[in-house]
Every structure is written in C-alpha cells, then in structure tokens.
Amino acid sequence: TSPFAWLRTRFYYLLIRLYFDQEFSVEEFTRGAKQAFSVVSKLLSQRKLDLLEELVSAEVLQVLKEKISLLPDSHRDALAADIDAIMYTTEGDVRIYYDDDGIKFVSILMCFWYLNGANLPDEVPGGAKVFQIVFGDESTKEKKHLLTANYEFQREFTEGAKPDWTITRIEHPRLLE
C-alpha cells in the first residue's frame, strides 16, 4: 500500500469514529471481516447460497448464483478460505457517502491473500500464472495455491438503521469471473 493510500484510509477511519461510530476499531473490523470472508467463501464453495442472504446484498447474491453454477469443481473448491489459511489482509479503499435521501453509508474494501489446496492448473485462462507453495519434502509434498479475494463491506449509519455490515462486492480473481 502506498503511503498516500495508507494516510487516506486512516483519515477516513478517523472520520468514521468522529461522525458515525465512536467505538469503531480498525482491528475489530478487520477481525470480523476475516471471519466473514472465511464463512462466506466456504458457503460459496459448498453452493449454500441460501445461507448468504443475511450477509450478502441481494444484487451480489443474484450474480453469484449465476456464476457459481458455471464453475468447475476445482475453481469452486478454491473459493474456500479457512481463517487460519489467510496469510495477509489489508484495506483496499474506504468510502463515506450520502445518497439523495440523506442516508449515510460507509464502504470498506478488504483484500485477502489465502492458501488453498484445491487442484488448480498451473495456469488459468488468459495465461496468468497461479502462485504455488510446496510444503514438506519429496515424500510428503503438499502443494497449495496463494489466491486473492476482494470483499467490500458496507454499513448504513443513518439513525435507526441496523448496525450490520453487508458484503456488497465479492471478487475472486481468476476463479470467479
């Protein structure tokens, strides 16, 4: 992350604490985002989309239903991320905005890098290489892929709104396209 992006993100977090939620914590949000990512990615890989209705926006859920049905099993298996397999997490973007009716929203894009042992080809369509990590020696060799995912979390901060974060964007590059 560039220093400018890091400062911009921290400034937005300060605005969230000052004007929307005095108890907002970046660390707590990141912990919750990792848990949500792990749960949602596993449900996606298991095709249990009906269990995502409270976590994912209706628009995203509709798109996912179409895409998941077309995925090969290896790609679907690669969507699942155990929370212990998440290697790195960072914020991609933070936005604060108001709609025409004065409703206040905060969106935070989270980027995740995770290890997955799905049986993926070394290259995927478009010629992109998939990063691989091999664990163990020759007799117990285990190959894992380092994959990325981007999930955008949105919360309405208008007075009286439920204090729940909803996932409004799900991207698994090279898997869920």
Residue 45 in any domain: the answer is yes
The structural domain count of the chain equals 1
**pLDDT at position 125, please?**
46
Residue 125 in any domain: the answer is no
**pLDDT at position 136, please?**
58
Residue 21 in any domain: the answer is yes
**Shortest CA distance to 20 belongs to which of 170, 169, 165, 152?**
165
Residue 38 in any domain: the answer is yes
Domain encompassing residue 26: 3-112+148-171
What does the pLDDT look like over 75-132, one tens digit per residue?
899 999 999 999 999 988 999 998 888 899 999 999 999 998 887 766 544 444 455 5
Residue 135 in any domain: the answer is no
Has residue 144 got a pLDDT over 70?
Answer: yes
Residue 56 in any domain: the answer is yes
C-alpha–C-alpha distance, residues 26 and 89, integer Å: 12
- Looking up tokens 């992109």, which residue turns up? 128
Residue 25 in any domain: the answer is yes
**pLDDT at position 126, please?**
44
In the chain, the percentage of residues whose pLDDT exceeds 90 is 64
